[in-house]
Structure 1
Amino acid sequence: MLWADGGYTGSLVDWCRQKLALTLQIVKRTDDMTGFVVLPRRWIVERTFAWLTHSRRPARDYETLPASSEAMIRWSMVTRMSRRLARPRAVGRR
C-alpha cells in the first residue's frame, strides 16, 4: 500500500493499480480542519524524507540521471538499516 498527498488524486490511483499492482491511498484534509493538523500516515512520509536528507548526498540534487538518484536513495536506506540491525538490542525486546 502506498500513501499520497491530496494533490495526487485522479488518474494516479488507477495507474498504480493497473501498472504497479499497488493500492494507492490518498490522505486528504477535511474542510473543517483549521490550522496545523497532523494527517494520518503523513508522518511516515515526512520521517522517511528526514532520514534521506540526513545523508549528505541525497540532501542535494547532484544527480542528473534518475538511476543515479535512485542508487543514492537505496544506499542511504541500506546504511540506515544496517546501522539499525547492528545496534545492540535491549534485554527482553525482540
Structure 2
Amino acid sequence: MNERKHRLSTDTLGLLLGVKVLAANISDREGSTLLFLELRVKQPQMRLHVFADGGYRGKWEDWVKTNIGHTVEIVQRPDANTHGYWLPQDQELTEAQIKTFRGHREFVVIKKRWIVERSFAWCSFDRRLNREYDLLAETTEAFILLSFIRRMIRQLAAFAAQIAVAA
C-alpha cells in the first residue's frame, strides 16, 4: 500500500479548516502549498496567522506571505540548528553545550506546537484513521472531516448542556 502524509490546518481551538492527504513522496512544503491554495479558493476572504516549524522557514514562508496573504510565525526549539561547536584544542564541551545535541536534549515547551499535536491525537482516537485502510486519498480526507465534525458536534452538545443547566 502506498505511504501517505496527512496535512491538517486547524485554528487554535482545534477546529478543522482544511485537510489534504497526499503521497509520502510529496514534501511537507509542497503539500502545505497545495492545502493553502485549496483553502484560498474555498475561503478567499480568510486571513490567517500561521504557526509553522523551522522546516518551513525561507521560500515557503515568503510564498505564503506574498501569494496567500497570511502572516507566518516560525516556532522552533531555541537549540534546533545546533549541529556542533568549534572549540580550542584543549577545551572540553560544557554541560550546557552537550545538552543541545539530539539525544541529550531536555523537554522544552514549544509555543503553539501542542495545538498541532492535539489535532493529530484526536484523529488517532478514531480506529478508521489509526491505520491506512483506504485506497483513495479522498476517502481518508472524508473520514478525517467526519472525525472533526463529530468532535465539533460533541463540543457544541456539551456547551448546550452547560447553558441548559445554567438556565
- Partner-residue secondary structure (3-state), 1:79: helix
Q: After superposition, what is the alpha-carbon deviation per residue over 1:40-77, rounded to whole angstroms, capped at 9, x for unaligned?
A: 10111111111111111222223343332222211110
Q: Which amino acid aligns with 2:52?
A: A
The TM-score with structure 2 as length reference comes to 0.48
- Uncovered stretches (5+) of structure 1, i.e. residues with no partner: none
The within-5 A match list for 1:1-94 is: 1-31=49-79, 34-87=105-158, 88-89=161-162
Q: Distance in 2 between matches of 1:75 and 1:58?
A: 11
Which has a greater percent of helix? 1
Query: Against the structure 1 CA distance between its residues 61 and 22, is the aligned structure 2 distance closer, same or farther, given a 3 Å change threshold?
Result: farther
Q: Answer with 15-24 or 46-55: which moved more.
A: 15-24
List, as ranges, runs of 4+ consecutive aligned residues in structure 1 with deviation greater than 3 Å: 63-66
- Partner-residue secondary structure (3-state), 1:25: strand
Query: Against the structure 1 CA distance between its residues 9 and 51, is the aligned structure 2 distance closer, same or farther, given a 3 Å change threshold?
Result: same
Could you say which structure has the larger radius of gyration? Answer: 2
Q: Distance in 2 between matches of 1:73 and 1:43?
A: 19
- Partner-residue secondary structure (3-state), 1:89: helix
Q: Which amino acid aligns with 1:39?
A: I
- Please report how far the alpha carbon of residue 27 of structure 1 lies from its aligned counterpart in structure 2 after TM superposition: 0.6
- Uncovered stretches (5+) of structure 2, i.e. residues with no partner: 1-48, 80-95
Query: Against the structure 1 CA distance between its residues 82 and 41, is the aligned structure 2 distance closer, same or farther, given a 3 Å change threshold?
Result: same
- Please report how far the alpha carbon of residue 84 of structure 1 lies from its aligned counterpart in structure 2 after TM superposition: 1.1
- Please report how far the alpha carbon of residue 78 of structure 1 lies from its aligned counterpart in structure 2 after TM superposition: 0.3
* Identical-pair percentage: 43
The TM-score with structure 1 as length reference comes to 0.78
Q: Distance in 1 between matches of 2:133 and 2:67?
A: 29
Q: Distance in 1 between matches of 2:67 and 2:138?
A: 20
Which has a greater percent of strand? 2
